[in-house]
Amino acid sequence: MSLSTEQKVTTAINPVPAIRVSALNQGKVNEQGQYILYWMVAQRRVSWNFGLQRALEWGERLKKPVLIFEPLRIGYKWASDRLHTFVIQGMKDNQALCEEYGITYYPYVEPKQGAGKGLLAQLAHSACMIVTDEYPCYFIPRMVKAAAQHCPMLMEQVDSNGLLPLRASGRVFTTAASFRRHLQKTLLPFFASEHFPMREPLAAVKDLEKAQVSEQILENWPQADLNHLLNGGIQTLPIDHEVKVVDLETGQGGFQAAQRLLERFIDERLWRYHSDRNALESGSASELSAHIHFGHISVHEIAQRAFEYCDWHPQKVASKPNGSREGWWGASSAVEAFIDELVTWREIGFTFGFHRLDDYDQLSSLPDWALKTIAEHRDDPKPYIYTLESFEKAETHDELWNAAQRQLIREGRIHNYVRMLWGKKIYEWSASPETALEIMIELNNKYALDGRDPNSYSGIFWCLGRFDRAWGPERPIFGKLRYMSSDSTMRKLKAKNYLKRYATAQQAELF
């Protein structure tokens, strides 16, 4: 297996731009340590990864090998067969690649709650310093911060999240148009080669000695037997076995699967992305969000491939920054539309999480106009009110909504346009805005492979007014929030086959 046949083999590690690196503690570098520890927690890949690149940079500077440590905890919220399998498939690819490159890779899957406690500290004991991934969402910022506080040596976090470094965002943006304008003013310098992660950093360090993990550590915390786990072993783990593995190509995790999806998207669908993205049959979306979420593929790689496809380079930028969705890049319509989702819509959410880590998942983070209209309409009479259980079992009166929920349960995803309707209706049919938010977060994060992501909160909170504006006429329940109806969605999307496909629950989905 190899990352790419086109790769130009590099001979040295490019320094990671300072704007992407931040120290998590005041610890010192222990030059007597045996290795640089890369604690891989979000960007779970060995290509196009600034975190790994930073660890290798330190390795080169201190003349020490790098140890890649990729753990998978048991106790994270929504841990299930579906999510665990996806991550472990990615670990298998990483293991094979690391073996090929001759670098030490240590995969650890916690067999029972708390079993992994102390492992990071033990590994840190022999490390010169630690590098980890920065991720502005979910339990990761808390976990990383707590680990850094207890770590006597330097721990750095590295931002591989998007094309615009998180620290180049400056502030929270409340609309896509204002963020787009900011991108148009600030993004181009980040296309310089030193601001792109190395495609194949491990090729530059092929002949270095290998890091050793002590026998005592391996005895106490044995390396994960990935084949065993993927062949039934996962059943012994104390995780949710009701949320099943997704038996589709999009449900197969890892670097290899992500590359296949990317190739297929570029070859077969990107050319019609602008016109067909919302089509329910033969739509043109990339279906890459789960792989992006778990870090199995880098957005830098995806963006570069899309730009290469239409022979775009920064000199082609066609106009002054104006916040407009089309035309600024000077790329093809399809590529501009795709980049608008991949960069503008994706990164506005990452920026939001970064600046509002304390409340990105709370109603209080909504804009004032949305809070006001929600408060004014919270007691409006509701023709339908469902509980979490009824929503989860797809037992509403609305067949399109039920179909969307069944797609989520079965495939770990919902078609993008229908997903907006799915969220809007949970708001409309819940006892209160607070309950609606809880239900959306629970169902999205439990079942969606791409859930638990800054984008999850962008999408869910968009249904409640985030990144949107007030709409008229003011309506019952919704007030000035943008309204969506199942009837018009059915007409717009020609949903007959979609409804048929998800008309009834499959046996395995019955509760």
Q: Give contact residues for ligand FAD (rule: CB under 6 A).
A: 277, 285-289, 292-293, 341-342, 345-346, 349, 416, 419-420, 423, 444, 448, 450-451, 453, 455-456, 458-460, 462-463
Residue pair 154/27 in contact (Cβ under 8 Å)? The answer is yes
The distance of closest approach from Cβ of residue 12 to ligand FAD in the complex, given in angstroms and rounded to an integer, is: 32
Residue pair 448/294 in contact (Cβ under 8 Å)? The answer is no
The distance of closest approach from Cβ of residue 115 to ligand FAD in the complex, given in angstroms and rounded to an integer, is: 29
Q: C-alpha 171: how far from its chain's center?
A: 21
Which residue, 111 or 141, has its beta carbon nearer to ligand FAD?
141
Tokens standing for residue 27:
């610890």
Would you call 495 helix, strand, or coil by DSSP? coil
Which residue, 229 or 460, has its beta carbon nearer to ligand FAD?
460
Residue pair 448/249 in contact (Cβ under 8 Å)? The answer is no
Return the bridge partners of 157, or none: 22, 132
DSSP-assigned states of every residue in 369-387: HHHHHHHHHTTS--S----
Which residue, 213 or 436, has its beta carbon nearer to ligand FAD?
436
Which residue, 49 or 126, has its beta carbon nearer to ligand FAD?
49
Which residue, 234 or 464, has its beta carbon nearer to ligand FAD?
464
Closest-CB residue for ligand FAD?
Answer: 459
Residue 68 gets which letter from DSSP? E
The distance of closest approach from Cβ of residue 28 to ligand FAD in the complex, given in angstroms and rounded to an integer, is: 38
The distance of closest approach from Cβ of residue 182 to ligand FAD in the complex, given in angstroms and rounded to an integer, is: 16
Tell me, letter by letter, the H, E, C secondary structure of 233-285: HHHHCCCECCCCCCCCHHHCCCHHHHHHHHHHHHHHHHHHHHHHCCCCCCCCC
Q: Which residues contact 299 (CB under 8 A, 6 or more apart)?
A: 161, 162, 163, 292, 342, 343, 346
Residue pair 65/210 in contact (Cβ under 8 Å)? The answer is yes
Closest CA to 91 of 130, 45, 126: 45
Closest CA to 76 of 437, 388, 446: 446
Burial of 215 (0-12, 13-18, 19+ CB in 10 A): exposed
Would you call 330 helix, strand, or coil by DSSP? coil
The distance of closest approach from Cβ of residue 33 to ligand FAD in the complex, given in angstroms and rounded to an integer, is: 37
Which residue, 156 or 450, has its beta carbon nearer to ligand FAD?
450
Residue pair 323/299 in contact (Cβ under 8 Å)? The answer is no
Which residue, 14 or 289, has its beta carbon nearer to ligand FAD?
289
Residue pair 38/55 in contact (Cβ under 8 Å)? The answer is yes
Residue 223 gets which letter from DSSP? P
Which residue, 24 or 404, has its beta carbon nearer to ligand FAD?
404
The distance of closest approach from Cβ of residue 344 to ligand FAD in the complex, given in angstroms and rounded to an integer, is: 9
The distance of closest approach from Cβ of residue 258 to ligand FAD in the complex, given in angstroms and rounded to an integer, is: 11
Burial of 471 (0-12, 13-18, 19+ CB in 10 A): middle
The distance of closest approach from Cβ of residue 405 to ligand FAD in the complex, given in angstroms and rounded to an integer, is: 12
The distance of closest approach from Cβ of residue 241 to ligand FAD in the complex, given in angstroms and rounded to an integer, is: 22
Which residue, 64 or 425, has its beta carbon nearer to ligand FAD?
425
The distance of closest approach from Cβ of residue 222 to ligand FAD in the complex, given in angstroms and rounded to an integer, is: 33
Which residue, 126 or 455, has its beta carbon nearer to ligand FAD?
455
Which residue, 43 or 126, has its beta carbon nearer to ligand FAD?
43
The distance of closest approach from Cβ of residue 277 to ligand FAD in the complex, given in angstroms and rounded to an integer, is: 6
